[in-house]
Copies of this chain bind each other. A is one copy, B any other.
Amino acid sequence: MEKLLQNFDSIFSIDCIIFGLNEGELKILLIERNEDPYKSWYALPGNIVEQNESIDDAAQRILYELTGLKDIYMEQFYTFGAVKRHPSGRVITVAYNAMIRLDSAKELKPVTNYASKAFWMPVKDMPELAFDHTQIFNKGFEKIRSKISFEPIVFELLPEKFTLSQLQNLYEVILNKELDKRNFRKKMLAYNILNELNEKQEGVSFRAAKLYSFDKHKYDKFFQKELSFGKD
């Protein structure tokens, strides 16, 4: 034990998959590394967990540093701890999923010094990423994909007011398959977690659709099971 502690020099980090929706396309935030190893490769945004912050806080901080956004819901989905996943030493990483409203994000500002830029990469064009980040991305995306079949969790990606078609389109993009319009609307409205607004789409060159908003209060009532334990 003593010996263990003395030799101890592992590092704990956070990596984030930050989803955003832009012109109907699902994208995630990537950075381009400007340090070895994997210099000039694309990678998931991540950083080291500091002594005085919880892992949830670290995830929030990383998101804030890159997007200027705070208090976004992020969900831890897996911890990657293979011995040699990082070539220069032992790094265990906790991976988080987050979803943000692209239009609410300020300019991207990569303040981390190891990144030369941050940008949105369409999920369907995902290149090979640095380290084991491709694997992390796959697992995180799969997690979201399987989760939305049980529980509507994607409203954070849409504007505050959205049409049912936009919502359906988002589902189709995530699940990568077409859904039946009538069945989709029936099911979504049956969840009873949307507010029908007295407003319609504007600026479209066709019949304007009704706008809806997500009602977190109603949502919590029906999906309490998932909330039965606190954070961390």
Which among B8, B92, B113, B139 is the interface contact of A5 at CB below 8 angstroms?
A: B8
Please, how many angstroms separate the alpha-carbon atoms of A51 and B225 in the complex? 38
Does A120 count as interface, using CB distance less than 8 angstroms? no
Number of interface residues of A (CB under 8 A): 42
Give the distance to chain B from A33, nearest Cβ to Cβ, in Å.
14
Q: Is A52 located at the chain interface by the 8 A CB criterion?
A: yes
Are A51's CB and B10's CB within 8 A?
A: yes
Chain B residues, Cβ within 8 Å of A55: 79, 81, 92
**26 chain-A/chain-B pairs, Cβ below 8 angstroms:** A1-B113, A5-B5, A5-B11, A8-B51, A9-B11, A9-B12, A10-B10, A10-B12, A10-B49, A10-B51, A12-B12, A12-B81, A49-B81, A53-B83, A54-B82, A54-B83, A55-B79, A55-B81, A56-B81, A58-B81, A79-B94, A92-B94, A135-B229, A138-B229, A139-B229, A142-B229
A residues with a Cβ closer than 8 A to B are 1-2, 4-5, 7-12, 48-56, 58, 76, 78-83, 85, 90, 92, 94, 113, 135, 138-139, 142, 146, 225, 228-230, 232
